[in-house]
Amino acid sequence: MNGTEHWTRKGDVKLFLWRKNSSATPKGTILFVHGSSMASQPTFDLHVPGRPNSSVMEWFAERGYDTWTMDNEGYGRSDKSRPINCDIPNGAEDLEAGTAYIQKTTGAKKFLVYGISSGALKAALFAERHPERVARLALDAFVWTGKGSPTLEQRRKRLPEFAAKNRRPIDRAFVHSIFERDHPGTADKATIEAFADEILKLDSSVPTGTYVDMCSKLPLVDPLKITVPTIVMRGEFDGIASFEDLIDFYARLPNPDKQFTVMAGISHASFQQKNYMVVYHILHAFFTQPEPVYRA
């Protein structure tokens, strides 16, 4: 399935968007939001020989959805010229610009929004600011306060380094570390290498802002202000957040149309795991859930 590239602006900043769809009358419009260390296409439109349905964008497009993703400022094909560290609030502003462009281009009113890791924080902050644009919100590999997070505990040791510069280098060994830090074996080697190949084609460094925010500025979102239907998706082995942190966040979400799911056998990068079809099923079920016919 062929995709189409699109471009929009946030002030003087040029932002790249990528679209895949197969229906003139889509069931809904999905926006996928990437994380801290890689651009959008490697995360959501990855093709691996021998791994069927490897692209989550294609899988949902084949089921009648209009699927979009975008590179946040500082990543991939989007503008990297400003001397800033491209933090999480800045990423939420990118989503504001991106959704405005998609609305103008397609006529879509509301979005099914999926974010992973720092992308989940950006998506949650966007939903806080623009609930009128969000039909349903999926937060994968999310962290709220950071309390009890093994990953952030280790990352904080390098906070002075991250805070001192706007970008940090990435290489193949770094990509490998994403799959080794929590529970080795949850992803197969061919997928990890294909993921690394595509990430490194676009970036040799990425912004530090999301790392700085996640290490020193949490919480960045207020669950009481997230009024849209929400699912919190937690990998069994994911070290980015403790269960207690996520359950506390979930309990405070005011909309009764909410879910909390644990994804068995999965660590951090859900769509690149061996159990990726479990993730597709969970997300598809949430996005296709009918609206309640009765509310108290």
pLDDT, tens only, 101-117: 999 999 999 999 999 99
**Mean predicted confidence (pLDDT) in 234-262:** 98
Q: How far apart are CA 277 and CA 258, in angstroms?
A: 21
Whether 231 and 289 have beta carbons less than 8 Å apart is answered as no
Whether 228 and 80 have beta carbons less than 8 Å apart is answered as no
Burial class (CB in 10 A: 0-12, 13-18, 19+), 120: buried
Can you give the residue ranges of every domain in the chain?
4-287
Angle at CA of residue 31, ends 174 and 51, nearest 5°: 55
Q: How far apart are CA 62 and CA 58, in angstroms?
A: 6
For 260-281, the pLDDT digits (tens) are 999 999 999 999 999 999 999 9
Q: How far apart are CA 35 and CA 64, in angstroms?
A: 25
- Please report which confidence band the pLDDT of residue 295 belongs to, taking 50, 70 and 90 as the band edges: confident
Amino acid 68 reads W
pLDDT of residue 183 exceeding 90, the answer is yes
pLDDT of residue 15 exceeding 90, the answer is yes
pLDDT of residue 288: 98
Considering the chain, what percentage of its residues have pLDDT values greater than 70?
100
Residue in the structure block whose two tokens are 């912004």? 207
Sequence-separated (6 or more) residues with CB below 8 Å from residue 56 = 32, 44, 45, 271, 276, 280
pLDDT of residue 5: 98
Q: How far apart are CA 153 and CA 191, in angstroms?
A: 28
What are the distances in angstroms from CA 116 to CA 33, 57, 80, 177?
Answer: 7, 14, 21, 17
| DSSP-based three-state secondary structure for 116 | strand
Q: What global pTM score does this model have? A: 0.98
Q: How far apart are CA 33 and CA 294, in angstroms?
A: 32
Q: How many residues does the chain have?
A: 296
Both tokens of 15, joined, read 């932002």
Q: How far apart are CA 22 and CA 62, in angstroms?
A: 6
Radius of gyration of the chain (CA): 18
DSSP state for residue 68 in the 8-state scheme = E
Residue in the structure block whose two tokens are 């996640």? 214
* Superfamily designation of domain 4-287: Alpha/Beta hydrolase fold, catalytic domain (3.40.50.1820)
Q: Where are the alpha helices (DSSP H) in the chain?
A: 40-44, 56-61, 88-106, 118-129, 150-155, 159-163, 172-180, 189-202, 209-216, 243-252, 276-287
Closest CA to 273 of 196, 200, 192: 192
